[in-house]
Amino acid sequence: MCSTCGCSDEAEARLTVFPTDHEHGSDHHHHDHHHDEPHDHTHEHEHRGDHGHLSETRTSRTLRLEQDILARNNRLAERNRGWFEGREILAFNLMSSPGAGKTALLERTIRELGDDIPICVIEGDQETTRDAERIRATGCRAVQINTGSGCHLDAEMLASALKRLDPPRGSLLMIENVGNLVCPALFDLGERKRIVIASVTEGDDKPLKYPQMFHAAHIMILNKVDLLPHVPFDVDRCIGYALQVNPKLRVLQLSVQNGDGMAEWYSCVREEIGLHEAAN
Ligand code: MG
């Protein structure tokens, strides 16, 4: 977990619901700060002037805090999972670095599958409601979570957003995580499948540089393949690295822009829906 960029339970998350409704004006949700939790304890120690073993103490304390935060998140993620099961909702967690094409993939998917499959979206970004507005333009219901200084969604933020979104029974929930290949990999949201989106405009060694993300994912989408003639990207090398990190990874190559490979993605979605229905 990143301990310097503000991705802790201290981060404040704000929700914006689309389409806006009678709740307009109360969109800004602030999480409780859990003042009985360990981070207050941390401040006490840091200010007490005990420099003798501060570095070592701080390291072990940081590790313990990370474990506490992740354990708490995992408990809340299990609650979300139960919530999804009770409503037969299939949830995907979409993760990537910024600009890989998560929102564009969702827009096209909703336009081309939305008539057959009820789809709802939760959008995660540090600031702005731009992505939720793009999703809303497709006619799909969307909730925006703004994480402020936080660089990932967590299970508690998701639970708050679910109450606002109220996705219908049997729907497909697409969760677009904050653009980041590091911290989102560690935070279970209660989703059924984790999808990492890479693109050919990035380095083909991303799976080696961010192995936790590719290890945690079930599906890897390699987007923007229409740009391959123009960029020095080795597809075989990238996929080889990804499978080296995670031999079970399912890999799809596509271009949201020109539609190449989208049919395979839709087959994958339908297959997951079928498996989900069979399991319920
Ligand atoms: Mg986006």
**How does pLDDT run across 194-234, given as a tens digit for each residue?**
999 999 999 999 999 999 999 999 999 999 999 999 999 99
101 CA → ligand 1 middle, Å: 7
For 95, the 3-state DSSP assignment is strand
Count: domains in the chain: 1
142 CA → ligand 1 middle, Å: 13
In a domain, 50, yes or no: no
In a domain, 138, yes or no: yes
Of residues 238 and 40, the one with the higher pLDDT is 238
In a domain, 186, yes or no: yes
Sign of CA dihedral 121, 21, 125, 4: negative
- Sequence-distant (6+) residues with CB within 8 A of 85 are 280
According to the model, what pLDDT value does residue 109 have?
98
Write down the mean pLDDT value for the chain: 87
106 CA → ligand 1 middle, Å: 9
Q: Give mean pLDDT, residues 147-165.
A: 97
Angle at 37 between CA 36 and CA 38, to 5 degrees: 130
In a domain, 240, yes or no: yes
Domain extent, residue 219, equals 14-20+57-279
Confidence of residue 62 (pLDDT cuts 50, 70, 90): confident
175 CA → ligand 1 middle, Å: 10
- Check whether 242 has a pLDDT greater than 70: yes
In a domain, 44, yes or no: no
Per DSSP, which regions of the chain are E strands? Answer: 14-18, 90-96, 119-125, 142-146, 172-176, 193-199, 219-223, 250-253
d(CA 97, CA 83): 28
In a domain, 260, yes or no: yes
In a domain, 3, yes or no: no
46 CA → ligand 1 middle, Å: 37
121 CA → ligand 1 middle, Å: 11
102 CA → ligand 1 middle, Å: 5
Q: Give the CATH number for residue 94.
A: 3.40.50.300
d(CA 94, CA 106): 10
196 CA → ligand 1 middle, Å: 13
240 CA → ligand 1 middle, Å: 27
Backbone angles phi, psi at 193, to 5 degrees: -135, 140
d(CA 62, CA 40): 13
Low-confidence winner among 55-69, 74-88, 160-174, 236-250 (lowest mean pLDDT): 55-69
> Which two tokens mark 33?
């700060």
- Check whether 246 has a pLDDT greater than 70: yes
In a domain, 259, yes or no: yes
| Type of residue at 46 | E
Task: Please check whether residue 108 is in contact with residue 89, taking contact to mean a CB–CB distance below 8 angstroms.
Answer: no
42 CA → ligand 1 middle, Å: 34
